[in-house]
Structure 1
Amino acid sequence: MVALLKSLEKLAKTDATVLLLGETGVGKDIFARKIHENSLRVNKPFFKVDCAAIPENLVESELFGYEAGAFSGANSKGKPGCFEMADKGTLFLDEVGELPLIMQAKLLRVLQDQEIMRVGSTKPKKVDLRVIAATNRNLEGAVKEGTFRSDLFYRLRVAVITIPPLRQRNDDILPLADYFLHKFNGKYRKKMSLSDEAKLAFQNYTWPGNIRELENLIQSLVVTRDKDIIDISDLPNNMIGVKVSAENKTLSEIISDVERDLLQKALATHGSVANIAKLYKVDRTTIFRKLKKYSLV
């Protein structure tokens, strides 16, 4: 991680486009913000867009904005998009691999020409911003499949940082746990810490949801436990190797367990919200909402 952080600090001083790669939950948004905070744009806006969370029919208006009367229901004064709001600063495009092909072409134009065009406008507008993109997808594979533009792929990979999953960063687990304990102890006015047994369980667990799973677990423990020491008995059964049967569980709880397991396996196998939505024949926003519900993204 030391070498990774040094690379990050070095890249931050340039104005190059950065592509962050890594599994869901490894902390790509944290690294993106770190790049911004160490850049010459530190005092300008940092704007994050979750490309997977925007319905496909709203992507263009959200990113590029629109003019007054551009479409039915549009604001009478028009609206700036994310590119305009991040002007002079940094725009972080999370899950860029989920952008529809037509939006990929428009993003390529922004990267090449530093200009955008609002929906309903005929006049291009110059913008000055740095773009940091992130994905958990294999973009090279997506290019071969025809779901991601090759010209955009090569434009994005000016500076690539691959963030390893938490299971490969064992030395980071306890410092991160302490960081989140400090954060949520302060927020909820508590003084909780981990027992030695709990610390060992944290280090031995594989953390499939990575940093996001760790953060959500710590928050849950701080909120729901009254004692100051978090013991191994307070941890979820899947962390301590206990298999839980369906006995004494409601139908809703059993369905949730099965759904979480299916989504976790699908994410590991298919790698993107779009692919999972296609697999289960539902809308992308439905899959994204459920992944957030189970702390898988």
Structure 2
Amino acid sequence: MNSQKELLEAYQKLQSQSNDFNKLPVVIQSKSMKALYGQLSNVAQTDATILLLGETGVGKDVFARKIHELSERSDKPFVKADCGSMPENLIETELFGYAPGTFSGGNKNGKIGLVEAASGGTLFLDEIGELPLLMQTRLLRLLQDKEILRVGATSPQKVDVRIVAATNKNLEEEVKEGHFRRDLYYRLMVALIDIPPLRKRKADILSLAHLFLDFYCKKYKRNISFTQATETALLNHSWPGNIRELENLILGCVVSSKKNAIDIGDLPFVPAPESAPTETANNGIALQGRTMKEILENVEKKVLQDGMERVGNMTKLARELGLDRTTVFRKLKKYDKK
């Protein structure tokens, strides 16, 4: 009874931390995403270990949840373990738990780990490339023997859990450099899904942008739309931060906009338009109220005076400008009087 109570409390805590945003549909407008979604649907029906690859922010978390949703384990727990954010000295107990009496001051009944909390369901190991080598060995045992050993326990216990892992690292290079176990790498490569970056799936950009806009407008009770210029700018942006960058951009625009439309000037990656020249040009020469002759004389004066300051020699300046020395002398003398 204590074990069941512990499992229930851990599961309820994990469920309460889930984000409503994860319930939004996966956008699959581009050809590459449609092909990828077909592959995902096929492997989700099996119990095969899946490795999700892709740059930071491409939506690996969303794909992992979709795999669980499409699997026969959809009514069981989905538990996420962020391998990159867990302190190294706590990873073992967080993943595998500990037995009663293991630590002074610890729970007298022991503590369930994330692997056991996902029993019957799916364990999502995000940023698995950050997992220390010792924990990689423990994970390999889980994949091979379907059993775990709590910290401080003397006997292993069987677990039924489906592993979905994700990384933005090149695991093959990590193996060559000795940072990742080769046998674990091959265990994870059973089913590989490589998610393309947003810049390579432009057909999804506006659909995602409108999805985020609708979501945050409803959440914050706003009524905001995109202008045509904004949609064009969104399509042309390279999105180095991928979907996460797009989501955060739309969120920022929704909460900070004082208008009913997100205009191109609200986008941080679009440079501000240059103001038209009024009284002076970019080189500091006055334009308004002057004839062409006066403007050209001002340009000539500036070139000669700047040239003398730079080279300090009339002969050298004349050679540089392709003029006679006497011409340079005469013009400098003329402008010195003005």
Q: TM-score range by the shorter chain?
A: 0.7 to 0.9
Task: Quote the residue 1:40 is aligned against.
Answer: 72
Structure 1 unaligned regions, length at least 5? 244-297
Structure 2 Cα separation of the partners of residues 23 and 197 of structure 1 = 28
Identity, in percent, stands at: 61
Per-residue CA shift, 1:37-68, capped at 9, x if unaligned? 00000111001111000010000000000112
Runs of 4+ in 1 over 6 A off after TM superposition: none
CA displacement at 1:242 relative to structure 2: 5.3
CA displacement at 1:70 relative to structure 2: 1.3
Per-residue CA shift, 1:240-273, capped at 9, x if unaligned? 1459xxxxxxxxxxxxxxxxxxxxxxxxxxxxxx
- Describe the SS at the equivalent of 1:110: helix
Task: Quote the residue 1:89 is aligned against.
Answer: 121
Give the 5 Å matches for 1:101-120.
101-120=133-152
Structure 2 unaligned regions, length at least 5? 1-32, 274-338
The match for 2:175 among 143, 168, 180 is 143
The question of 1:240 aligning with 2:277 is answered: no
The match for 1:129 among 126, 148, 161 is 161
TM-score of the superposed pair, with normalisation by structure 2:
0.70
Task: Quote the residue 1:167 is aligned against.
Answer: 199
Name the Cα RMSD after superposition: 1.2
Structure 2 Cα separation of the partners of residues 180 and 53 of structure 1 = 26
Task: Quote the residue 1:267 is aligned against.
Answer: none
Structure 2 Cα separation of the partners of residues 45 and 182 of structure 1 = 29
Structure 2 Cα separation of the partners of residues 120 and 225 of structure 1 = 55
Of structures 1 and 2, the one with the larger relative CO (CA 8 A, separation 6+) is 1
Task: Quote the residue 1:247 is aligned against.
Answer: none
Contact 2:265–2:272 (CA<8 Å) still a contact in 1? no
TM-score of the superposed pair, with normalisation by structure 1:
0.79
CA displacement at 1:187 relative to structure 2: 0.7
Larger radius of gyration: 2
Give the 5 Å matches for 1:12-51.
12-51=44-83
Structure 1 Cα separation of the partners of residues 98 and 87 of structure 2 = 16
CA displacement at 1:190 relative to structure 2: 1.1
Counterparts in 2 of 1:192 and 1:117: CA distance versus 1, 3 Å: same
